Amino acid sequence: MRSQFLLMIAAMIGAKSVAIGAFAAHGLKSILGAYQLAIIDTGVQYQFWHTFAIIACAILMLQARAQGQKYFFIAAICFIIGIFCFSGSLYTLALTDIRWIAFITPVGGTLFVVGWIVFAVAAWKMREVSK
């Protein structure tokens, strides 16, 4: 059930990545400067790559035992919250020029790193079970 939930969330986040990227490239190109478009592009890239990380967590949860499933789920949650903090703050910065929002970006980046570390722990737990 958790795996299905993560796959649905990943699908929505992935669709949002494509929509934001296309809107920025076509709808905002004449409105925003190159710097703001580059900020949005960075947010879209991180959002899109971490969508695949969420999908990987969901698929691997189906293969893992309870302990590994828990860690893959935690990693996926870190990736999801990281996307909202990292990419969301970049989108807000590019569109509004509210500078203080940039302080949220490192929180998202830190969650990405934590998510990858927890992902590694989950993979290790799978190894321990398969012995």
Tokens for 92, please give them. 């807000």
What confidence category does residue 65 fall into, taking pLDDT thresholds of 50, 70 and 90?
Answer: confident
Report the chain's C-alpha Rg in angstroms: 16
pLDDT at 128: 58
Q: What is the pLDDT of residues 29-56, one digit of tens each?
A: 889 999 999 999 999 999 999 999 999 9
Token look-up 């190894």 returns: 127
Q: Please, where are the H alpha helices in 1-131?
A: 2-22, 34-63, 66-96, 105-130
pTM: 0.92
- pLDDT-derived band at 131 (thresholds 50, 70, 90) equals low
